[in-house]
Chains A and B, each alone.
Chain A
Amino acid sequence: MTTVAEAAAARAAANAGPEPVTFAKALTTAMADAMRADDGVVVFGEDVATLGGVFRITDGLQKEFGAQRCFDTPLAESGIVGMALGMAMNGLRPVIEMQFDAFAYPAFEQIASHVAKMHNRTRGKVTLPLVIRVPYAGGIGGVEHHCDSSEAYYAHTPGLKVFTPSSVADAYRLLREAIASDDPVVFMEPKKLYWSKEAVSLETLRSEFDAGATPRAEGRAAVVRPGTDATIIAYGPAVPPALAAAEAAALEGRSVEVVDVRTIVPFDDETVCASVRKTGRAVVVAEAQGFASVASEITARVQERCFHSLAAPVRRVTGFDIPFPAPKFEHWYLPGVDRILDTLDELQWED
């Protein structure tokens, strides 16, 4: 008698497909590949060099690329962002790490007043190819200041692009695209997904990216599970529970499509609205507190654009409007499968 896991491993071996790769490994590989492809890419932040980052996302970069291209800075986030801006002005492509979501707040003035506005202020004369990596959101039992969902601050600031991958392949693809972008990108990494694994070939992703073989993921939401009866729109840390809810709904005979937003800015109205017009029902799932949030914006956009296709009001499943809770309360806060299923049930199926 074999376990399910053993059976899965045996199947994978028989198919000789790619080995499982972690989300973290995909990010590290994306940075290393970008650094190999372009001498101007530099990586810096707090604890990123010798230690390889508190989440080990920059592990090995200093060893391979030297202390000039991957280095630790003094402990000052505004300094990191402001200096990165100057380096980007002077020909480099900095990729900087904010150690945790809430630790990026001291840098907010640099981000909102300069990073976001320099291109506009100079009528395009100064471009800022700059990536600000932010490990964000909860689900790891973290203490206060380590679990914030801060994406709305950035998405609300014109001039910033905001990417947030939810799959291993997208972690690689989107980070390569962010580093290649001439616009500043706030790259939001759902920290609870760092250790998630998928069987993907990083070699294939690398050669596809280098050859420009795949269409850009920026500005393109992905239908990550097709369905016909309702659409769940989610991003980042909310995608796995959305997929699990769709799986559970299928057992109850409901076909739920799941759309992963992937890049909050630029937002892909087309893919999202095409899905909702097809299914006629929509639930937006996000881990961040719901009031004045990215989920609110998505809900409003869908309502405005798909009203005549809707069989029920667009609903949201989000965090509560409270400071991110202490670890023992976290499970009540996070949008989970049951809460998503309950909300799906309320989409006026009897009408």
Chain B
Amino acid sequence: MTISVSSPGGGETSLAEAVKNFGISIEDYMLPVHGQIQILSEDGTMLPEDRRGSSPGHQYPVPPDEELLAAYRRLVIGRRVNDQNSALVRQGRLAVYPSSHGQEACQVASALCLRDGDWMFPTYRDAVAVMTRGVDPVDVMTIFRGDWHGGYDPHAHQVGIQSTPLTTQLLHGVGVAHAAKLRGEDTVVLAMCGDGATSEGDFHEALNFAAVFQLPVVFFVQNNQYAISVPLAHQTAAPSLAHKAVGYGMAGERVDGNDIVALLAVLDRAVTLARAGSGPLLVEANTYRMQAHTNADDATRYRNQAEVEAWAAKDPLNRMRHYLRAAGQLTDDVEASFARDAEEVAQHLREGLSGEPEIDPQDLFRYVFTEPTPQLREQAAFLADEIARSADTAPADLAKEH
């Protein structure tokens, strides 16, 4: 392996380089827009340029319709996946599922903005993003089935394991980006977390490290307004989460997290800038967790129905559907084919998660180290012997009980 010997490049230089293209001050570049970037209105009409919340240097080109149609197909599949997984929890096939119902636009955009070779570091609520990135849906859900803490090979799709400890994975993304930069590769890392997670210490350390080393990381915060039961007002007194970026010397942007058009536009530009050497960026998507934290949570204890209904009106699928129907992109036939695609994925999930997985008790010891220690070999033999003995005695025990 060879590490490039070119100079690492000071923070100010690359930031100044990025700013030059927009003809604005560094402060204007780093501070997010007032309000948020929104391109598609809540009723599904394309907003005129002067009503998109943009300001000088914060204008975003609209992705072409065929890209939007492909994204809508992913939204439909994502919604079906969310609802299918929740059903599988109710049927006892999955232990738990933190649904991203309502956040599908964020999920889909976070995968579509990346190229092959880029990395994604997701959280436990990002199953749809991981699937959209190309990991087999059944493998993605294995972590919630109870037979493995992972489910897929992170190297195969360049996706980290969905992280449970909040924001710890951001630093892993920073490290992956750092290694790539030292080798002179143009990898971009999308590091994902939620609003509550921004209170964690590792959020600060990850953003600061990425900025100091000028690494190609896009931090993507899905602000779904609640950390289980605690609303955003109890997490931060900052004007917005995107404002946190400026303190690290990076650009922050705020975007309507239920508007896939705006998300694709903002994330595409962020990824492009990061790839070109701008250093890291922070994107905050304003969205809503439509369902409880998980099936074990009761959201009625901490928020009212009116609030939920107000957000239902901003649903990311509805507004995209209205736009694409009006644009003539989404015909009845296309819509039916998307529904079939979604049903196919749902069926794949049902079939993949319906059986009892075969598990090998020796897997307990196999992967703790690259090679088991003598102590683990001893314990593995002990368990194998115990299982063999209980198999010998099991019929007798059963007979006793009846």
Contacts and interface: CB of A to CB of B under 8 A. Distances in A.
A86 B171 contact: yes
B255 to A, nearest CB: 26
Contact of B172 (A114, A119, A265): A114
B53 interface: no
A101 to B, nearest CB: 20
B248 to A, nearest CB: 10
A266 B148 CA distance: 25
Given A89-B175, A266-B373, 8 more contacts: A86-B177, A91-B179, A109-B165, A121-B161, A122-B367, A123-B367, A125-B156, A126-B155
Given A74-B209, A85-B171, A91-B1, A119 B178 contact: no
Given A78-B171, A86-B171, A122-B161, A182 B370 contact: yes
Given A78-B205, A90-B176, A125-B155, A39 B3 contact: yes
A220 to B, nearest CB: 11
Interface in B185-212: 201-202, 204-206, 208-209, 212
A123 B154 contact: no
Given A42-B182, A124-B370, A126-B154, A76 B208 contact: yes
B26 interface: no
Interface residues of B, number: 46
Contacts of A73: 209, 212
A142 interface: no
B5 A90 contact: no
Given A69-B3, A87-B178, A122-B161, A183 B370 contact: yes
A183 B370 CA distance: 6
A186 to B, nearest CB: 13
Contacts of A121: 149-150, 161
Contacts of B310: none
Nearest to A65: B3
Given A86-B177, A89-B176, A119-B369, A110 B171 contact: yes
Interface residues of A, number: 52
12 contacts: A42-B182, A73-B212, A79-B206, A83-B178, A85-B175, A89-B179, A106-B201, A109-B202, A110-B168, A118-B161, A119-B368, A123-B367
Contact of A114 (B168, B206, B373): B168
B250 interface: no
Interface of A: 38-40, 42, 66-69, 73-74, 76, 78-79, 81-92, 106, 109-110, 113-114, 117-127, 158-159, 161, 182-183, 219, 265-267, 269-270
Given A122-B153, A266-B374, A79 B368 contact: no
B177 A74 contact: no
A267 B375 CA distance: 8
A120 B208 contact: no
B2 interface: yes
B280 interface: no
A266 to B, nearest CB: 4
A82 B171 contact: yes
Contact of A158 (B155, B156, B368, B370): B368
Interface string B81-100: 00000000000000000000
A70 to B, nearest CB: 11
B261 interface: no
Nearest to A89: B176
A79 B209 contact: yes
Nearest to A81: B171
B173 interface: yes
Interface string B204-222: 1110110010000000000
A79 B178 contact: no
Contacts of B153: 122, 125-126
Interface string B162-173: 000100101111
